[in-house]
Amino acid sequence: MNQSYFYLDMQTHELEVPYSGEARRVRVLLPKNYEQDTERFYPVVYFHDGQNVLYSKEAFSGYSWKVIPTIKRNPDIDRMIVVAIDNDGENRMNEYSAWKFQGGIPGISFGGKGIEYAEFVMEVVKPFIDQEYRTKPQREYTAMVGSSLGGNITQFMGLAYQDRIGCLGIFSSANFLHQDAFNRYIERTPMLAPQRIYIYVGTQEDDETDKSLIGGNIKQAYVSSSIRYFKDLIRMGHSINNLELVVQTDAEHNEIAWSEQLGDCFRFLSRFWHHDER
């Protein structure tokens, strides 16, 4: 086993967001031997909510996805480049939803910037990464991972960019915030090519923000929305062999729960990656 892979190198970039004109931090995690193994090209996994991905001291909840420890603990998983795209703080809910949804206060709505954010990721971030690093840019080697509202935008982008994104990791999607709009979108969207899609949800997900937005049985809403998405993918024509649905008993809505499943997610998405191909 190559122990050098246990030590990773990280690069930081500031990329301009076209619709705001502001710079967005994008961090790139590389294997330490990336500079030595110059003939090798790598799959890329893009994460939303980049502040929560790498270091607990930066994470909103005080606990990160533990991406680096996950890679270290699972040397059997194919090597990859990890790209962590920061969220926009107070505008996160707007960017991570392609559709507007009502808040808890009458007349207040959120969302609607998701299409523009998706274009930023696919037309600015991805081309930059593919140009600057030795990536495998093909769709089957391009993965996207997100949780909660980050899961919402990952679901949307997985449909809107089927020709460019081949693998999805959907954790605790809050699709119920705009369920009707998403249902209409997925019903009219044909399956263009196979994708490998990992779906995770816990049975004790009870986010205070979601309570303030819609009320009701939030725990059941998370589970029902994830199961509905799984069924919709099968209806579209996705093979059951390319889908993984995990409903975790007693798991809550936080990075602690998501990080515990990340190794399995990486392993599922990367099952057919081949390191000897460019």
Task: Give the model's pLDDT for residue 105.
Answer: 56
Task: Give the model's pLDDT for residue 1.
Answer: 43
Which domains, ranges and CATH numbers included, belong to the chain?
3-269 (3.40.50.1820)
In the predicted model, what is the mean pLDDT of the chain? 89
Per-residue pLDDT tens over the stretch 227-265: 999 999 999 999 999 999 999 999 888 888 999 999 999
Task: Give the model's pLDDT for residue 3.
Answer: 45
Per-residue pLDDT tens over the stretch 11-49: 999 999 999 999 999 999 998 789 888 999 999 999 999
User: 97 and 88 in contact (C-beta within 8 Å)?
Assistant: no
Per-residue pLDDT tens over the stretch 132-168: 999 999 999 999 999 999 999 999 999 999 999 999 9
Task: Give the model's pLDDT for residue 252.
Answer: 87
**Would you state the torsion angle of the CA atoms of residues 189, 193, 194, 197, taken in this order, to the nearest 10 degrees?**
-50
Task: Give the model's pLDDT for residue 65.
Answer: 81
Task: Give the model's pLDDT for residue 242.
Answer: 98
pLDDT above 90 coverage of the chain, percent: 66
What the block records as the tokens of 198 is: 């990992």
User: 46 and 126 in contact (C-beta within 8 Å)?
Assistant: yes
Residue 108 pLDDT grade (very low, low, confident, very high; cuts 50, 70, 90): low
Per-residue pLDDT tens over the stretch 59-98: 676 777 889 999 989 988 989 999 999 999 888 889 999 8
Rounded average pLDDT over 121-141: 98
- DSSP symbol at 56: T
Q: Is pTM, for the whole model, over 0.75?
A: yes
Task: Give the model's pLDDT for residue 58.
Answer: 76
User: 12 and 25 in contact (C-beta within 8 Å)?
Assistant: yes
Q: Is the pLDDT of residue 216 over 70?
A: no
Q: Is the pLDDT of residue 103 over 50?
A: yes
Rounded to 5 degrees, φ, ψ at 40 are: -100, 140
User: 96 and 149 in contact (C-beta within 8 Å)?
Assistant: yes
Can you list the alpha helix ranges (DSSP code H) found in the chain? 67-73, 92-95, 114-120, 126-132, 149-160, 179-188, 208-214, 218-236, 255-269
User: 120 and 232 in contact (C-beta within 8 Å)?
Assistant: no
